Amino acid sequence: MPLFSQLYNFAHWLTQDRSEAEDLVQETYVKALRGFSGFQQGTNFRAWMYRILRNTFLTSRSGSKASATRPLEEEDQEQLPATEETPESIFIASSQKEMLQNALAELPVPFREILLLCDFEEMSYQEISDTLGIPAGTVMSRLSRARRALRLTLSKKLKV
């Protein structure tokens, strides 16, 4: 099954829970089968599947909680302070895989998911835009804010 492992990995990152991730993936495939007639040939199949998964997550209990408790990025435009850590120390932190995984898990869902789509799935900005249903310009600004937030989270962990 193409995409199965990646979709599962993505679902587990979103839900942070194995059984919720399994429910989410299962529901995604069920919806995909049911809605396949609505899938337009020539559009991006991967983005379509991720979009179903993500929309299913957002309407689930933990998903709506995750998106409700986090401010949307456009609203907290300037709330991220610049990091004072040097690039070297950030690099040391990011090379510690577990610390980076914890930092990613702590990010608000909109930041976590866009980093996964860009750096793990290596989606183009257009694919990310199709998946998340946001304009391409927002993809760019959200990505740079997500990366800044990740650096900030890492530099906080370095100080502890």
Partner 1 sequence: MADEFTSKLDAYLDGELAAADMKALDAHVRACPACAADVLGRVQMKRAIKSASQRYEPRSEFRAKIERRLKPRAGFPKDPLYFRLAGIAKHRIYVARWPPHLP
Q: How far is the CB of 12 from partner 1 (least distance, A)?
A: 4
Per-residue string for binding with partner 1, 60-89, x by CB under 8 A? ---------------------------x--
Question: Using the rule CB under 8 A, which residue among 64, 91, 133, 135 binds partner 1?
Answer: 91
Cβ-based neighbours of 119, under 8 Å, separated by 6 or more: none
Question: Using the rule CB under 8 A, which residue among 52, 53, 114, 116 binds partner 1?
Answer: 116
Of 53-61, 66-74, 147-155, which part binds partner 1 (CB under 8 A)? 147-155
Please report whether residue 95 would count as binding partner 1 according to CB under 8 A. Answer: yes
Nearer to partner 1, 61 or 97 (CB): 97
153: amino acid identity, one letter? T
Q: How far is CA 40 from the centre of its chain?
A: 24
Q: How far is CA 72 from the centre of its chain?
A: 14
Span between the terminal Cα atoms of the chain, in Å: 43
Place of tokens 């608000």: 108
Burial of 94 (0-12, 13-18, 19+ CB in 10 A): middle
Question: Using the rule CB under 8 A, which residue among 47, 53, 143, 152 binds partner 1?
Answer: 143
Q: What is the DSSP letter of 38?
A: G
Angstrom distances, CA of residue 67 to CA of 70, 96, 127: 5, 28, 21
Q: How far is the CB of 149 from partner 1 (least distance, A)?
A: 12
**Residues within the interface to partner 1 (CB under 8 A):** 1-2, 4-5, 8-9, 12-13, 18, 21-22, 25-26, 29-30, 32-33, 36, 39, 45, 87, 90-91, 94-95, 97, 100-101, 104, 115-116, 118-120, 122, 124-125, 140, 143-144, 147, 150-151
